Structure 1
Amino acid sequence: MSGNSELQLLAERLRRTRESMKLKQADWCRFVGIGPQAWNNYERGINRISIDQAIKVCVATGVSLDWIYRGQLSGLPIELATTLQGKIVKKSNRNVGD
């Protein structure tokens, strides 16, 4: 997989994580302690989130670095893992008819 595709998948996981917690970007940024411009760039795949910033997300939400960087749901809080899994299934079902 190319670096750009990996960056887009990472950005999508960050967006899904925020949306799963039902927070708008501004509220999310206050919650995790990351500036809005930086976060917007992470979600859009313009910049790759740093380990330090990713750890802030982990501490605030309970997600793991494995989820953020590798997409592995194991080890996440059950409610969040279930919500994220549902978003993944819905997205793949939408792509079937494309």
Structure 2
Amino acid sequence: MEETSIGVFSILVMICPMGKAPMPKMDHEGIGSRLDALRTATGLEKGVFAESCGIDPSSYSKIIKGEKALKVEMGYAVSVRWGVSMDYLYRGTLEKLPPSFASSIITNLTGRDA
């Protein structure tokens, strides 16, 4: 297994047999960090944010800790409700973040001002 790491944007790559393209391994901790950075940018408490997207608050706690996967349906609900892309949630793509959240999200993820 080959690992490339850029902070919370860690990507683990497993080389597939028979010469197929590398398959990315899901980075649940990174997804949780990005989700909670968005929550912090909204200024909402964890439970209120979770409910705003139709996520059970106890599941939300496990998701942000990387203990549980963010299901695609949940990711889509977050994307629609808060205007972030699925690429942001699942891959860490910072392009096209809503201007009202971009600076706060980047600060929360990197610990530095955008």
Q: What is the TM-score of this pair, normalised by structure 2?
A: 0.71
Off by >6 Å, runs of 4+ in structure 1: none
CA RMSD across the alignment: 1.9
Q: 2:43 aligns with which of 8, 19, 22?
A: 22
User: What's 2:81 paired with?
Assistant: 60
Structure with the larger strand share: 2
CA drift of 1:8 comes to 1.2
Query: Deviations along 1:9-48, whole A, 9 cap, x unmatched?
Result: 1111111111111111111122111111111111111111
Q: Distance in 2 between matches of 1:29 and 1:85?
A: 20
Higher-Rg member (1/2): 2
Query: Deviations along 1:39-88, whole A, 9 cap, x unmatched?
Result: 11111111110111100101110011010011111112112112112223
User: What's 2:62 paired with?
Assistant: 41
Q: Distance in 2 between matches of 1:85 and 1:49?
A: 20
Q: Percent identity?
A: 23
Q: Quick check: 1:88 aligned with 2:109?
A: yes
Which segments of 5 or more consecutive residues in structure 2 lack a partner in the other structure? 4-11, 13-24
Which segments of 5 or more consecutive residues in structure 1 lack a partner in the other structure? 92-98
Number of positions where the alignment pairs a residue of Structure 1 with one of Structure 2? 91
User: What's 1:72 paired with?
Assistant: 93
User: RCO greater where, 1 or 2, for CA within 8 Å and sep 6 or more?
Assistant: 1
Structure with the larger helix share: 1
